Amino acid sequence: METQDFVARQFVTLRDEIKATKARLFTIVMVGLIAVPLLAHFASKSEFLVWLLLPYSVLMLIILFVTEQSTMMRAGRFIREQIEPRIAPAPSWEAWIESRPDLRLLDRYYVACFMVIFFLYYFITSGVSVDLILRKEAADMSGTGMYWYWFAGALLAYAIGAIWAFFTLLHHWKEAVSTSNVGALGSRPPAVTAG
């Protein structure tokens, strides 16, 4: 197989991966926007232990979204750094779009909007879970204080989950919204030259 043929096949494969990633992103957003409220509704009619797990479902959606978004940008970065320089001397699509920060603005808004909505879901479901535990404690006639342990454990677990998700997002923000070389903390990896 010739080098140009291999590069062309890589390009087509990566573009197909980007299309598949966009489809998965759409599915994640729809699951989040529709399924989380539905799950919350059904969880409200079941045991309170189900509610304790719902915030972690939202965290999983956040991480899945960031992962897919980063995968898509990583494919674009590979196209920009490894494939486009071998094909044309003039800037191609990925190089052109990355050179115009205003064109990546909508990507940033999209990711930020998703994060705001789903962190809001996370805090709402966490709050409802903690409230349900407190209600169970108030209704508990055994006097064991068992639900206070549930309350403390849930509060700690939800706080750790929120902090972890926030710092994960902060660490991966740049790679989720850009194909540039600059990492999340501003470091630049060594440049790879096309050969």
Residue with tokens 């992103």: 25
CB 147 within 8 A of CB 154: no
Within 10 angstroms of residue 37's Cβ, the number of other Cβ atoms is: 13
- Which of 54, 61, 62, 60 lies closest to 128 in space, CA to CA? 54
Q: In terms of Cα–Cα distance, which of 16, 173, 169 is closest to 79?
A: 16
Query: Looking at the whole model, is its pTM more than 0.85?
Result: no
Task: Determine contact, residues 166/62, Cβ cutoff 8 Å.
Answer: no
- What pLDDT is recorded for position 192? 43
Q: Do residues 126 and 151 lie in contact, with contact meaning Cβ atoms separated by under 8 Å?
A: no
Residue pLDDT tens, the chain, 195 long: 687 788 888 889 999 999 999 999 999 999 988 988 888 888 777 776 778 888 999 999 998 999 999 999 899 888 888 888 887 676 788 888 888 888 788 888 888 898 899 999 999 999 988 888 888 888 887 878 788 888 999 999 999 999 998 898 888 888 888 777 644 434 444 444 444
Question: What pLDDT does 193 receive?
Answer: 44
Q: How distant is the alpha carbon of residue 83 from its chain centre?
A: 27
Question: What does the pLDDT read at residue 186?
Answer: 40
Taking each helix axis from N to C end, the angle separating 105-139 and 48-78, rounded to the nearest 10 degrees, works out to 170
Instruction: Give pLDDT, residue 98.
Output: 80
